[in-house]
């Protein structure tokens, strides 16, 4: 048990460290060959920040731990909106841009509805034998992701100062070091993902917990640590508006790209993830939207942040009572 916990912590460290080095190496290498900062920001950096969720969900599905795979995404989306959004708003009220309010948050809501529709086969069709995200549904999610990426690229291209772009003056590394970052980062991601999923399953078994509970809580929080660190740091630097883009963008990526990729490689059987979990995930996205619209000032205040965080605590307590 103690060894499993150590492996779990080591896995988290390898995943986060691997993602950082992979992103740094790939982005500096791309710019060495003349790829624009905008393209780097929209593709390589975006993929790098989502790679912890991707590697955990994909590894879990391939190892037959589908509840960890799906629970990781549903739990991460809940953690992003309720916990990270709540904590960030408590640190500093979050300003939301008109574009985020009109485009990204509604798209996050759409992604939540689409996922719920795909997962709840037995609710929507009583003749269905199981709740499952099939390969064809995975490809559909990837199609949504490509549309989202194309649209985001078009919007960002029209705004050169967009936050998706990265600096034109990256740290200069020799070519061998850039390649070492890339391959070392990939190796750390794969090894860390294997340790993370195996130890999470072992801890769940040892404590008599379901894999869905582990996926929705501990695994989800672990893979969302980069988003938490980024959002809190932005709030402390008096730039809390960055947190919303981080949260919303991550949630869209999680559903369309990560689950889309995972289900295309290995169909996901949703055993322990139920109606309530998907309803809470969708309701959290809707609550964020309502708070952003409230009073017409496009600001999530500290009181609203407290409500978001309280909702996450209440949901976690409910999950614990169901063990």
| Runs of H (alpha helix) within 81-173 | 85-91, 98-99, 105-119, 121-124, 135-157
CA trace torsion 113, 119, 121, 124 (10° rounding): -20
CA trace torsion 112, 117, 119, 125 (10° rounding): 160
Residue 254 · residue 58 · CB < 8 Å: no
pLDDT confidence tier of residue 159, bands split at 50, 70 and 90: low
What total of structural domains would you count in the chain? Answer: 1
Determine which of 141-145, 254-258, 268-272, 288-292 has the lowest per-residue pLDDT on average: 268-272
CA trace torsion 309, 313, 319, 323 (10° rounding): 160
Q: Name the average pLDDT for the chain.
A: 83
pLDDT at 53: 82
At residue 58, what are phi and psi to the nearest 5 degrees? -65, -45
pLDDT at 103: 83
Answer yes or no: is pLDDT of 280 > 80: yes
Structural domain boundaries, residue 51: 2-321
How crowded is residue 288: how many other Cβ atoms within 10 Å of its Cβ?
A: 26
Helix, strand counts (H, E) of the chain: 17, 4
Q: Can you give the CATH number for the domain in which 41 is found?
A: 1.20.1420.30
E strand or H helix that includes residue 132: strand 132-133
Name the residue among 281, 215, 219, 222 with its Cα closest to residue 81: 281
Average pLDDT of 285-297? 84
Structure tokens at 222: 């672990």
Start-to-end C-alpha separation, the chain: 19
Contacts (Cβ under 8 Å, ≥6 apart) of 42 = 149, 152, 153, 156, 164
pLDDT at 32: 79
108 vs 128, higher pLDDT: 108
β partners of residue 132: 269
Structure tokens at 230: 């980024």
pLDDT at 192: 86
Residue 89 · residue 315 · CB < 8 Å: no
pLDDT at 171: 62
Answer yes or no: is pLDDT of 281 > 70: yes
Residue 170 in 3-state DSSP?
coil
* Model pTM above 0.85: no
Give the burial string for 230-261 (b: 16+ CB within 10 Å, else e): bbbebbeeeebbbbbbbbbbbbbbbbbbbbbb
DSSP for 190-222 reads HHHHHHHHHHHHHHHHHHT--HHHHIIIIIHHH
């Amino acid at each position: 048990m103690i060894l499993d916990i150590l492996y779990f912590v080591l896995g988290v460290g390898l995943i986060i460290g691997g993602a950082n080095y992979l992103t740094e190496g790939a982005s500096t290498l791309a710019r060495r060959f003349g790829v624009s900062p905008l393209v780097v920001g929209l593709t390589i950096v975006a993929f790098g920040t989502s790679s912890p969720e991707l590697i955990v969900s994909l590894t879990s599905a391939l190892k037959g731990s589908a509840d960890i795979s799906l629970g990781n995404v549903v739990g991460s989306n809940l953690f992003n909106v309720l916990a990270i959004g709540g904590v960030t708003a408590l640190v500093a009220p979050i300003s939301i841009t008109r574009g985020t309010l009109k485009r990204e948050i509604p798209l996050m809501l759409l992604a939540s509805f689409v996922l719920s529709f795909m997962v709840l086969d037995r609710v929507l069709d009583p003749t269905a034998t199981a709740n499952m995200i099939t390969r064809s549904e995975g490809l559909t999610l990837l199609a949504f992701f490509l549309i989202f990426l194309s649209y985001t690229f078009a919007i960002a291209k029209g705004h050169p100062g967009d936050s998706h772009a990265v600096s034109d003056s990256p740290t200069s590394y020799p070519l061998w070091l850039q390649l070492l970052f890339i391959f070392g980062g990939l190796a750390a991601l794969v090894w860390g993902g294997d340790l993370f999923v195996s130890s999470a399953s072992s801890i769940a078994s040892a404590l008599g917990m379901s894999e869905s509970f582990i996926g929705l809580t501990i695994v989800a929080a672990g893979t969302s640590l980069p988003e938490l660190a980024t959002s809190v740091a932005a709030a402390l630097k008096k730039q809390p508006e960055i947190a919303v883009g981080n949260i919303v963008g991550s949630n869209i990526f999680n559903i369309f790209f990560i689950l889309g990729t995972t289900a295309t490689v290995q169909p996901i059987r949703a055993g322990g993830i139920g109606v309530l979990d998907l309803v809470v995930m969708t309701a959290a996205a809707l609550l964020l939207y309502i708070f952003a619209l409230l009073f017409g000032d496009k600001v999530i205040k500290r009181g609203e942040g407290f409500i978001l965080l309280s909702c996450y605590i209440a949901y976690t307590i409910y999950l614990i009572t169901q063990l």
